[in-house]
Amino acid sequence: MYETTTLGGGCFWCLEAVFSELKGVQKAESGYAGGSVPHPSYQAVCTGTTGHAEVVQVTFDPQVITYREILEVFFDIHDPTTLNRQGADVGTQYRSVVFYHDEGQKAAVEAMIADLGASGRWRDPIVTQVLPFDVFYKAEDYHQEYFKHNGRQPYCQMVVAPKLTKFRQHFVTKLK
């Protein structure tokens, strides 16, 4: 039986590219969550006025990859200490957020944040929001598998590709 988690950590193109390569991940879809506007468009989310974050919804097999392992990857590939930004991407739509789907996920992410905070890995405190999942709006088709189809695009070369390279180096044994 598959489980689902919804994660925001900057641009969804980066997250989707990474999670798509993990063993045990059945699918990773780019979309929007956490806002008040139903069925938002990319253009609306980019204004920062919808309340939505760019997210990836990850469907995974917990017999192959645990939720904690999903979180380890998530916290490794973005900076959870920067409020409403990842690199040059600035705005609430790029915030670090975990939308938990059940109380077990909530407890796991809270424990992970506590462990990471105590580890001294970052000088600044972790600002990742931990919120109950409500609804996921799948992004427009052209955002799905964006890196796969647009890898030569400058943003992909400068932002997505380095994150993917780092991920592949840190999690080589977890690649499909």
Kindly list the domain boundaries of the chain, sorted by start residue: 3-174
DSSP 6: E
Report, as an integer, the average pLDDT of 55-84.
97
* pLDDT score of 87 more than 90: no
> Please, what is the average pLDDT of the chain?
96
Percentage of the chain beyond pLDDT 70 is: 100
* pLDDT score of 97 more than 90: yes
How would residue 128 be classed by pLDDT, with cut points 50, 70 and 90? Answer: very high
The pLDDT value recorded for residue 159 is: 92
Report, as an integer, the average pLDDT of 4-30.
97
Report, as an integer, the average pLDDT of 34-57.
96
Q: Name 149's Cβ contacts closer than 8 Å, sequence gap at least 6.
A: none
Please give the positions annotated as active site.
11
The pLDDT value recorded for residue 89 is: 87
Site of tokens 């088709």: 141
* pLDDT score of 165 more than 90: yes
The pLDDT value recorded for residue 96 is: 97
* pLDDT score of 148 more than 90: yes
Question: How are beta strands 137-138 and 129-132 bridged, if at all?
Answer: unpaired
For the chain, the DSSP string reads --EEEEEEES-HHHHHHHHTTBTTEEEEEEEEES-SSSS--HHHHHTT-S--EEEEEEEE-TTTS-HHHHHHHHHHHS-TTSTTEETTEESGGG-EEEEESSHHHHHHHHHHHHHHHHHT--SSPP--EEEE----EEPPGGGTTHHHHHTTSHHIIIIIHHHHHHHHHHTGGGB-
Taking residue 133's Cβ as centre, other Cβ atoms within 10 Å add up to 19
Q: What is the pTM of this model?
A: 0.95
Overall CATH class of domain 3-174: alpha beta
Q: Name 65's Cβ contacts closer than 8 Å, sequence gap at least 6.
A: 22, 23, 24, 25, 174
SS3 5: strand
Report, as an integer, the average pLDDT of 140-153.
95
Residue 164 CA to residue 65 CA, distance in Å, equals 19
